[in-house]
Amino acid sequence: MIVSMMQIIFEIPGLTSIKEKRRVVKSIGEKLRRRFHLSAAEVNQDSLSFSQIGAAIVSNSRVCGETVLQKAFDMIEKENPVRIQDMKIHSEEF
């Protein structure tokens, strides 16, 4: 069993309230769950304009899991009003 994980840190420019940030982050999490069947959550809520999302998928191959995560990252980058600061993908075998 392979668990592939992704961490994304991004900036959401132009926010004026925590409610706006929550709307954007929740939308991204829902897209990840619905389109890619990933487990996803916001893992750092300390800043108004920055967010950190963690996502994971279980598969039978490292290549399969990391390919899905890369496609999910591409979707976030293209379809959302965010500036990516950092992104990491890592897989572990259990």
Structural domain of residue 24, as residue ranges? 2-93
CATH number for position 38? 3.30.70.1120
Separation CA 89–CA 62 (nearest Å) = 11
pLDDT digits (tens, 9 = 90+) for 64-91: 999 999 999 999 999 999 999 999 999 9
How many domains does the chain contain in total?
A: 1
- pLDDT at 59 (0 to 100): 96
Separation CA 94–CA 8 (nearest Å) = 23
pLDDT digits (tens, 9 = 90+) for 47-61: 888 999 999 999 999
> Which two tokens mark 7?
């961490």
How far lies 60's CA from each of 14, 33, 38, 76, in Å? Answer: 41, 19, 15, 24
